Amino acid sequence: MKKCVVILLLLLLPLSGCAVQNEPARAECFAMDTFISMQAYGKNAEAALSRCTQELTRLERLLSISSAEGDIGRVNAANGEPVALSAQTAALLGTALAVSAETDGAFDPTVYPLVSLWGFYGDEPRVPSQAALDEARASVDWRKVSLAGGVVTLPAGAKLDFGGIAKGYAGDALKAVLREENVTSAWLSLGGNVAVLGEKPDGSAWRIGIRDPLDESAVIGSVEARDVSIVTAGGYQRNFTQDGKTYHHIIDPKTGLPAESGLLSVTVIAPDGARADALSTALFVMGTQRALALWRSDRSFAAIFVESNGDILYTENAAFSPSNISKSKMAKFVE
């Protein structure tokens, strides 16, 4: 009898110990035009998340187009004059331009004049005239951005928009704050961006559901993730309808029009959240075939594509498990 009690106690102790440790600290806020939700584990988690909330306020000011005193606000008011950037913004612009180069401009951080013309910064998006599109397109060209020694110079009339990369970057910056605070396990969700730090406290991988672009309450499957960002770009995230046609917020810089590449969404998984975010936008513009050609030449990221007809394709390194519904459609593994 005594033996049983001891064994029972031994069994219960680690379980109850785990239960305390398994309760995450949580924080939620609205920043960067997005609802943000954070969960962190460990004894310092609460203080760490409160620092994360402050970091989000700082990043919003630094990178938003609507903050006149931030880096992007100052660049966009410079009208051809050089602007000294913070080291962080300079590094992020470097990442943005690297993705522009590798995607042949499908991701272009100078897309501001086009996004503005379509009205996606304000409350009244609308279809612009062809003449206005042609004029705006002439000011969009990542190759004309000069970045040297932390100083950026754009041609007069050109402006930056970090909407396609800032949230992914914010995930990286928050993970850095958490690490500084000795947090080793956390889950962060910023709009279509999820960033995970380490693994779950029980040592298993995080399991991140990938939204069905056709049904906001459904998932197409889930990804097993450790220390990566999982970023989805989709036409469903922001759009408007005019004369019966729907126009979304991801612009093909070559045409000036919302990208029509046969995709409903693209998810990119990579250790660097800023790169994953920029790549997700770029791959959405490029379409599956060009995107897969890039993946085959590189493989430093993984991707999941949902095509217009609902078909799903995923790269062999995606650690993706299609849901039962997806399996009954077509979920195709790409090598």
Q: Does 331 participate in binding ligand AMP (rule CB under 6 A)?
A: no
Q: Does 71 participate in binding ligand AMP (rule CB under 6 A)?
A: no
CA distances from 175 to 141, 184, 256, 264, 334 (A): 32, 9, 35, 29, 31
Closest CA to 329 of 206, 218, 172, 173: 218
- Binding piece for ligand AMP, criterion CB under 6 A, among 35-43, 103-111, 220-228, 305-313: 103-111
Q: Please state whether beta strands 215-225 and 206-212 pair in parallel, antiparallel, or not at all (unpaired).
A: antiparallel
Residues 161-180 that bind ligand AMP (CB under 6 A): 161, 163-164
CA distances from 72 to 65, 93, 142 (A): 6, 10, 15
Q: Out of ligand AMP, Mg ion, none, which partner does residue 161 contact, by CB within 5 to 8 A per kind? A: ligand AMP
Residues 108-147 that bind ligand AMP (CB under 6 A): 108-109, 111, 115, 120
Q: Out of ligand AMP, Mg ion, none, which partner does residue 173 contact, by CB within 5 to 8 A per kind? A: none
Which of 280/323 has CB closer to Mg ion? Answer: 280
- Binding piece for Mg ion, criterion CB under 5 A, among 32-40, 115-123, 156-164, 301-309: 156-164
**Least gap, CB of 281 to ligand AMP (angstroms):** 4
Residue with tokens 């690297």: 98
The two tokens of residue 204 are 């298993």
Among residues 280, 315, 323, 326, which is the contact residue for Mg ion, using CB under 5 A?
Answer: 280
Closest CA to 267 of 315, 227, 311: 315
Q: Out of ligand AMP, Mg ion, none, which partner does residue 235 contact, by CB within 5 to 8 A per kind? A: none
Q: Does 73 participate in binding ligand AMP (rule CB under 6 A)?
A: no
Which of 75/111 has CB closer to ligand AMP? Answer: 111
Residue with tokens 């401009």: 105
Q: Does 250 participate in binding ligand AMP (rule CB under 6 A)?
A: yes
Closest CA to 154 of 110, 91, 105, 103: 110
Q: Does 34 participate in binding Mg ion (rule CB under 5 A)?
A: no
Give the count of residues interacting with Mg ion (CB under 5 A). Answer: 5
**Spatial distance between the Cα atoms of 304 and 221, rounded to a whole number of angstroms:** 10
**DSSP summary character for residue 153:** E
- Contact yes or no for 205/225 (Cβ under 8 A): yes
Q: Does 235 participate in binding ligand AMP (rule CB under 6 A)?
A: no
- Count of C-beta atoms within a 10 Å radius of residue 288: 19
Q: Does 281 participate in binding ligand AMP (rule CB under 6 A)?
A: yes
Give the count of residues interacting with ligand AMP (CB under 6 A). Answer: 20
The two tokens of residue 231 are 């970023």
Is 156 buried (19+), middle (13-18) or exposed (0-12) by CB count in 10 A? exposed
- Contact yes or no for 201/228 (Cβ under 8 A): no
**DSSP 3-state of 148:** strand
Q: Does 285 participate in binding ligand AMP (rule CB under 6 A)?
A: yes
**Least gap, CB of 280 to ligand AMP (angstroms):** 6
Q: Does 272 participate in binding ligand AMP (rule CB under 6 A)?
A: no
Q: Out of Mg ion, ligand AMP, none, which partner does residue 163 contact, by CB within 5 to 8 A per kind? A: ligand AMP
Q: Does 233 participate in binding ligand AMP (rule CB under 6 A)?
A: yes
Which residues of this protein are in contact with ligand AMP, per CB under 6 A? Answer: 107-109, 111, 115, 120, 161, 163-164, 192, 233, 237, 249-251, 253, 277, 280-281, 285
